Amino acid sequence: MKEAMTTLKVTANGATIPAIGFGTFRMKGDDVTRMVRHALSVGYRHIDTAQIYGNESEVGEGLVASGLPRSDVFLTTKVWVANFKYDDFLRSVDESLEKLRTDYVDLLLLHWPKVDEVPLAEQISALNEVRKRGKVRNIGVSNYTTALLRDALALSSAPLVTNQVEYHPYLDQSAVLDVARKAGMIVTAYYAMADGKVIGDPVIKEIAGRHGKTEAQIVLRWLIQQDQVIALSKTLSEERATSNIDIFDVELSSEEMAAIHGLAKTDGRLLSPDWLAPVWDAGPAKQSI
């Protein structure tokens, strides 16, 4: 299989999204502008940020510095939980657009499923409203369990495009994947490298050696080779960013895919803030968080 890195895309509910995105979580200041500009220069066409990252302005600077037409880049941001009340939500989206130096984003997500203070119906209503006003092209959620995702789908008049979740070889997400696929949605994988834990993993290292690739490249390929899955790659290194998108000249065998799936652990989840995290779905064996 040989695919052009700038054209491999996944479609869902009217959205067409590049299979590999460049993520900016925990990136600050000039590093953000530098890496966004570099990522776009080597073929990334999907950039992911969020209000809580505190770097939307720098992402906007990187987009402008790239010289690319706005329509060439798929841009995602996320509304933070402190802005979930209807009026605050609309105001925060306007602020995000100003920081990002654009009059629309391609995808807007609810960042975490926090419903104890603002009902989910109110959040979904605001999400639909900004889409109706043309400020966002597509809408979705992040860190949603299967039950919460079903609730969101039932409440939304517009189609939801993705559920962005932690997903890597050590965390089974088959339950979330199943519900998303049945709804015609994409799952967007973040923390693909399991905070660096995949590097040096014997199983992944052996597969990487067989294909002449790095462990990071193999994990990203494993993700996007799955049906309706796209992946975010994040690094502060220009060299690694260039390497991470060079995954379209390899195809993993069914045995290799299964071997990586087999690395999932019952305690594989890495990101689960006490005050934000829902009661997660259990995998084949109940997850211990």
Please tell us whether the domain made up of 9-261 is placed in CATH 3.40.50.150.
no
Asked if residue 98 has pLDDT above 60, the reply is yes
The arithmetic mean of pLDDT across residues 107-135, rounded, is: 97
- pLDDT bin (cut points 50, 70, 90) of residue 257 is very high
In the block, residue with structure tokens 């409203």? 129
pLDDT(282) > 90: no
What is the rounded CA–CA span in Å between residue 42 and residue 27?
19
φ, ψ dihedrals at 17, nearest 5°? -125, 130
Banded model confidence at residue 231, pLDDT cuts 50, 70, 90: very high
**Of residues 44, 53, 144, 191, which has the active-site annotation?**
53
3-state secondary structure of 279: coil
Task: Provide the token pair at 245.
Answer: 């998108």
Instruction: State whether residue 137 is helix, strand or coil.
Output: strand
* The pLDDT of residue 114: 94
Q: What is the pLDDT of residues 14-61, one digit of tens each?
A: 999 999 999 999 999 999 999 999 999 999 999 999 999 999 999 999
| Cα 32 to Cα 38: distance, rounded to the nearest angstrom | 10
Q: What is the mean pLDDT of residues 113-135?
A: 97
**Which one has a higher pLDDT value, 183 or 284?**
183
Reading the block at residue 126, the tokens are 């605001």
Q: Which amino acid is at 23?
A: G
CA distance 66 to 222: 29
Mean pLDDT confidence for 9-13: 95
Q: Is the pTM of this model over 0.85?
A: yes
| Closest by Cα among 14, 66, 284, 63 to 173 | 284
Looking at residue 7, its pLDDT comes to: 55
Q: How far apart are CA 86 and CA 170, in angstroms?
A: 37
Taking residues 243-263, report their average pLDDT. Answer: 97
Average pLDDT in the chain: 95
**Secondary structure of 27-82 in HEC code, one letter for each residue:** CCHHHHHHHHHHHHHCCCCEEECCHHHCCHHHHHHHHHHHCCCHHHCEEEEEECHH
% of the chain exceeding 70 in pLDDT: 95
Distance set, CA 268 to CA 13, 69, 171, 173 (Å): 30, 40, 5, 11
Task: Compute the chain's Rg from CA coordinates.
Answer: 18
The residue extents of the domains of the chain are 9-261
Q: Is 44 a catalytic residue?
A: no
Q: How far is CA 129 from the centre of its chain?
A: 22
